[in-house]
Amino acid sequence: MKKSNQRPIWQKTLLGTATSVAMASVGVMGMAATASAEESFKVGFVTFLSGGASGPFGVPAAQGADIVIKAINEGSLPAPYNTKGVNGLTLESVVVDEAGGPTKQVEEYRNLVQRQDVNAVIGYISSGDCLAIGPVAEEMKMFTIAFDCGTSRLFQEIEDPQYMFRTGLDAVADNVGAARYLAETRPDAVRIAGIQQNYAWGQDSWQDFTLAMEQLMPEAEIVNNQTPQLFQGSYSTEISALQTQRPDIVHSSMWGGDMESFTAQANVRGLLSQATAILTTGESGLHRFDGQAPNGTILGGRGPFGGFMPENDLSEWFTEAYIAEHGTPPSYPASKAAQAVLALKFAADNSGTDGVPSSEQLAEALKGAEFESVSGTVRMALAGGHQALQPMSYGEYHFEDGEAELRNVRSYPGECVSAPDGYNAQQWIKEGFPGVDCN
């Protein structure tokens, strides 16, 4: 059992209990005991605290955000964020569980804005939740940052966004990046197969990947795609079906426990010695595979996050702080949550006002801006300045002497993997990536 090697079970029990209780429904973290409403800035933080997405994504994201919020309030962040608080105000967060589906999340969002009186909202891992929240954020005129969700439709469905932002990349970038990595490192691969969770994320990812492969590796043949149920756990039959198709490459957008289970089972069954797996969210398993993935398995981290973070003062500080607190390096969800909180501090500090900035002032400060983060310099250059444009990285998993690392890492500029404004992402791929710049 990999996780329990790091902490004794009683510690896990206490931590799990503390996390569940402290973060349940309406928890408060990073709040100074003496802070009054006038001297604090209240942010709603929405992430999965229960259900299958909580362990690999939701809780690490909450932990990543918590570390940055505490450091902001202590004034202990590296430059350029080494001033105390956000715009001089204590940052207080109200944590909400993202479980329950879009309808519940819209209720929770309204509750955060109208009853909890938050000044901003950060959150949303699920694309379904993001799509539901986007129009509500615009309607309620509340400054909102989506930190993780990957749907490329977020800003297609909001005409002229004013208050909704996303500080990470969408799933199109994941899959165009994956195709580019294969074209460069596995140009001789011919038979391409896939396995995706059977819902919008998996279906969209496979569509984007296969469209990109048609452009970048036209000789390659798509031989099979498996679509197991979300949280299925056992993939014995799917692995057999993939083996009978004799693929060279197996693409998967599966995430969390599903991704880890599939990798371990496919490794034991020999599929991963017959074919190379490319896992678009595989970075979250970098320090959990423990050798259960063969060396050479290609991992993505949904951008320059987690193990793909570039070396800079912020990423080094964040990695050290996260290891000190949780005993393991931050995975990409933790890094993405940290980035969203840094974006909030950037917007508040640059709002040009005293006291609590309004949603309009925050939006004006972040729109089209460039800010420093754990993933390097982030340019809010897409969706009219509301969506981050960042590089996409892939690398090969390597495990030796109990240590995991990424090798043969390749990074593609944002303009190389993301559709420019004015293009539907799928149309952009089908037309051969017009306006692309990979240099």
Partner 1 sequence: MLTVWAILIDGFIYASWLFLVAAGLTVIYGVMRILNMAHGSLYALGAYAAASALGWYYAGGGDQLIMAFVIIAASAIMVGALTGLVIERGLLRLMYGRDEVLMLIVTFAVLLILEDVIKLIWGTTPYSAYQPYAAMGRINIDVLTVSGYDLMVLAVSLVIGVGLWFWLERTKVGKILRSIIHDREVSEAMGVNVRRMFTITFMIGATLGAIAGGITAPIISVVPGLGVEVIVMAFAVVVTGGLGSITGAAVGAVIVGLARATSIHTMPELELFIIYAVMATVLIFRPNGLFGQVIARKI
Interface with partner 1 by CB under 8 A: which range of 3-11, 134-142, 299-307, 336-344? 3-11
Cβ proximity to partner 1: between 236 and 424 the closer is 236
Beta carbon of residue 93, minimum distance to partner 1 (angstroms, whole number): 19
For residues 150 and 169, give the distance between their C-alpha atoms in angstroms, rounded to a whole number. Answer: 7
Q: Binding marks (x or -) toward partner 1, 186..205, rule CB under 8 A?
A: ------------x-------
Beta carbon of residue 322, minimum distance to partner 1 (angstroms, whole number): 15
Write the DSSP symbol of residue 439.
Answer: -
Q: Is 51 in the site for partner 1 (CB under 8 A)?
A: yes
Interface with partner 1 by CB under 8 A: which range of 228-236, 305-313, 358-366, 429-437? 228-236
Instruction: Name which position in 120, 271, 293, 383 contacts partner 1 (CB under 8 A).
Output: 271
What is the distance, to the nearest Å, from the Cα of residue 8 to the centroid of all Cα atoms in its chain? Answer: 28
* Strand residue runs (E) in 348-423: 370-373, 376-382, 387-389, 392-400, 403-412
Q: Is 49 in the site for partner 1 (CB under 8 A)?
A: yes
Q: Is 207 in the site for partner 1 (CB under 8 A)?
A: no
Q: In angstroms, how far apart are the furthest CA atoms of the chain?
A: 65
Q: Are strands 120-123 and 144-146 parallel, antiparallel or unpaired?
A: parallel
354 residue type, one letter: D
Q: Is 295 in the site for partner 1 (CB under 8 A)?
A: no
Nearest to 121 by CA among 84, 83, 163: 163
Residue 406 forms beta bridges with which residues? Answer: 397
Cβ proximity to partner 1: between 2 and 379 the closer is 2
> What is the helix (H) or strand (E) element at residue 31, kind and residue range?
none
Structure tokens belonging to residue 383:
């969706």
Cβ proximity to partner 1: between 223 and 436 the closer is 223
H-assigned helices in 115-251: 127-140, 171-185, 200-216, 236-244
Beta carbon of residue 412, minimum distance to partner 1 (angstroms, whole number): 30
Name the site residues for partner 1 (rule: CB under 8 A).
Answer: 1-5, 9, 12-13, 15-17, 19-20, 49-52, 54-56, 58-59, 198, 224-229, 231-234, 236-238, 240-241, 243-244, 246, 256-258, 260-261, 264-265, 267-271, 274, 288, 292
